[in-house]
Chain A
Amino acid sequence: DQQVKQNSPSLSVQEGRISILNCDYTNSMFDYFLWYKKYPAEGPTFLISISSIKDKNEDGRFTVFLNKSAKHLSLHIVPSQPGDSAVYFCAASTNSGYALNFGKGTSLLVTP
C-alpha cells in the first residue's frame, strides 16, 4: 500500500507566482521527509528535507512545511521559474533512516 501520497499528478503555475506541492503520509513512524526534483532521463535530485522535530525548513526559494498531526507536508516555491518545471517527489523514512518511501510524484509546469 502507498504510505506516501501525492494526490495531484500535475500542477500548472505562472512564472513569478507561488507553487504549492502537497504530500500526505500514513505511517506515523516516518520522521524524516525529503523532496526530490526529477527531469526526464535523469535521476532524482535532492531539493530540501525536514525532520519531524521541525515544522518548517527554508532554503532560498524553497520552503517545506510539516504538519505532523495532519500527516501532511507541502513544498512552496516562490517565485516559480520556468526552470522549476519538473516532476517533484515527496519521500519519507523512519528513524532507521535509509529506505526512502516515495510518492508517485507531481508534474509541475511553470509557464512564462
Chain B
Amino acid sequence: GAGVSQTPSNKVTEKGKYVELRCDPISGHTALYWYRQSLGQGPEFLIYFQGTGAADDSGLPNDRFFAVRPEGSVSTLKIQRTERGDSAVYLCASSSTGGFGEQYFGPGTRLTVT
C-alpha cells in the first residue's frame, strides 16, 4: 500500500515569506506527527495529532509555526515569516494508533530559507 507522502519534496523561499508543507498519512492511520531534522541532528518532535485535534504541540518552536488536520487525514504545517534558521528537512510520520508502536515516516520536505 501507499506510504506517507509529503509535498513539495523541496521548497526554497525568501526570508519573511509564508510556507505550507503538506503530509498525506497512510490511509486509516489516526495518529500523525511532524518532526524537523536539522543538518547533523536527529529528527526533533514538533506536534502530534490524534484524529483532527493536536494532542501535543509542545515541540513547536514558536508561534510562527502552526499545523492543522481538519478532516483527520491530510495535515498541513504552516510557517509564517520564515527565518533562515527554519531551514531543515520537515518529516511527517503516521501510526495506526497513538501510543507504543512504530511510526512510519515520509520522505520529508527540504525547506531552504534564503
Show the binding face of A for B, using Cβ within 8 Å: 4, 6, 32, 34, 36, 41-46, 49, 51, 89, 91, 93, 96-105
From B33, B40, B102, A46 is in contact (CB under 8 Å) with: B102
What is the count of residue pairs linking A and B with beta-carbon distances less than 8 angstroms? 60
From A32, A45, A51, A100, B43 is in contact (CB under 8 Å) with: A100
Which residues from chain B contact A51 at a C-beta distance below 8 Å?
Answer: 100
Which residues from chain A contact B43 at a C-beta distance below 8 Å?
Answer: 44, 89, 100, 102
Show the binding face of B for A, using Cβ within 8 Å: 4, 31, 33, 35, 40-45, 48, 55-56, 58-59, 91, 93, 98-108
In angstroms, Cα B43 to Cα A37, docked, is: 12
Contacts A43-B4, A49-B102: A98 and B107 contacting too (C-beta < 8 A)?
A: no
Which residues from chain B contact A44 at a C-beta distance below 8 Å?
Answer: 43, 91, 105
